Structure 1
Amino acid sequence: MLLVDEKNKQYTGDGSVDFKGRPVLKKNTGNWRACPFILGTECCERLAYYGIAANIVTYLTHKLHQGNVYAARNVTTWQGTCYLTPLIGAILADAYWGRYWTIAGFSIIYLIGMCILTLSASVPVLKPVECLGSICPPATPPQYVVFFIGLYLIALGTGGIKSCVSSFGADQFDDTDSQERIKKGSFFNWFYFTLSIGALISSSFLVWIQENAGWGLGFGIPTLFMGLAIGSFLLGTPLYRFQKPGGSPIIRICQVVVASVRKRDLVVPEDSSLLYETLDNSSAIEGSRKLKHTNELSCGRDCGYSCDYCY
């Protein structure tokens, strides 16, 4: 029994697997050894995003010759799309692809969008001619189409990255290990630090490059960093810990609502272990873990039902 317990301690207890689907050894995967690749990905992606968002109004007004109101509306619509697409990425990651493949797939879409945007600002036929005195010829419809295709591919790409990178980083730490659980809190500190570093460089250095050295170079540098982000992320693949997708979260939310209504009159057992759908330590949902019992999330009334019980 002692040998079995010692062997079990060598593996993660949260159900994570390696990239081949095998149980993972703690000493070989995850933890801080995998985090530099994830943090580097986030830093480069944020640098690329803010390298566009911080100064895109200026590009629309000075290069595409749009009015201030029209340019501001286009930027607001694009930024709103960037904050809606993470819903798509989150559902795909949790239900079907897993976080790793969602990040990898959407990062490629992101990079394609960056390349198109760089070409639209660099290739003469894809960008409007410069103003001649007070005469500023507007962009042609094909030029608009190329530019906005690149812009909205970036919005789609950021949806798969923004929704998964922080969670994928948290997956590298075993919740069942008290020491790794503490390190997970430190990971989020470093995560937001690297995010802020990328935003700072974009909002200062890249903005200066765009306005003084040209927009082709100003968009090309973030494109290069996005390529580095993808390379950094893929390089760490053998070190990552993966959580299997557990099915559609929308279906589970509906199940909780229905179950909470049907079981609203049941008496809560004193033994909290009886609140789960299975008796062993694993969850009935593949790739998921049992939630700890709590009285803080009641279902409809102050009855002490936890979400575990309602499910």
Structure 2
Amino acid sequence: MPSTKLSRRRILRASPIALIGIAGCLSQPRSSGPSTNSSGRSPTTGTTHTESNDDDEPSVRAIDVADFVLYPLAGTHPHVYSRAHTQYIIVRQTTPKSIDTVRNRLALTLDEEPLPLAERQPVPWKHDTVDLAFAVPKTETFERGRIVFKHSELRPLSESTISRLNNPPVFELSNISASPSEIQAGKKETATIQFDLANTGDGRGTFGASLKGNFVSGSNTVTATLDSGARREISASTEIVGKDEEATIRLDWGSDEWSTGISVVEAAELTESSPETPSS
């Protein structure tokens, strides 16, 4: 039987568990629907930025409100980052300036209070823009906000963005399971996890998690967009290989994680469990 390892951040029980999950929703523009994407995109596909006139201001292309940041783990693999009770404003800008210059000069304020940059920043090769993520507490409400570059306002936050910040989604995960229950030693297989996902918050949002098996160094990004009050069964797959005593699968959604072990058995153990054919 596979053994389930409990999260070091929070124990997941068999009954439905309410977690302040990670969700996101594009306020400008809206996010895409549910998807499962493979990781490992090369960072060399990003745009190279060269410095321009010091007074040139960046152009804000989009403002996204999300509950997770997709950042480059080990500089290569996209991975979900999130913290409980925290959401993120991601500002996408078109600019010839380097990302370090933009980080030092661009600020975002809510009710005239500056926000800190998130600990992890978006993958630099995801878009042809310079993207910055700012951390926003879910426990507070706001009336107004603005984006500032070198003390000059670039753009005020729209009413829809402020409304999204004040009405975040909240996700509940339950009934998490994985299959198969065992794998033959030395073999490679596709393992599948399933779980029930519900959005009990006030707003539409996107759940995001990283799913990793023991076969490759990267992980798959699992996302699902749910309206407020919606519930859905989510299924996602990853590759595992039969080595050691167990092949571990891990689902990490930033603010918590779940993992389980798939038993590794020898070929002889599989044939012994099959019924013998009677001799004539």
Task: With the length of structure 1 as denominator, give the TM-score of the two structures.
Answer: 0.26
Q: Greater helix share, 1 or 2?
A: 1
Task: With the length of structure 2 as denominator, give the TM-score of the two structures.
Answer: 0.28
Which structure's CA Rg is the greater one?
1
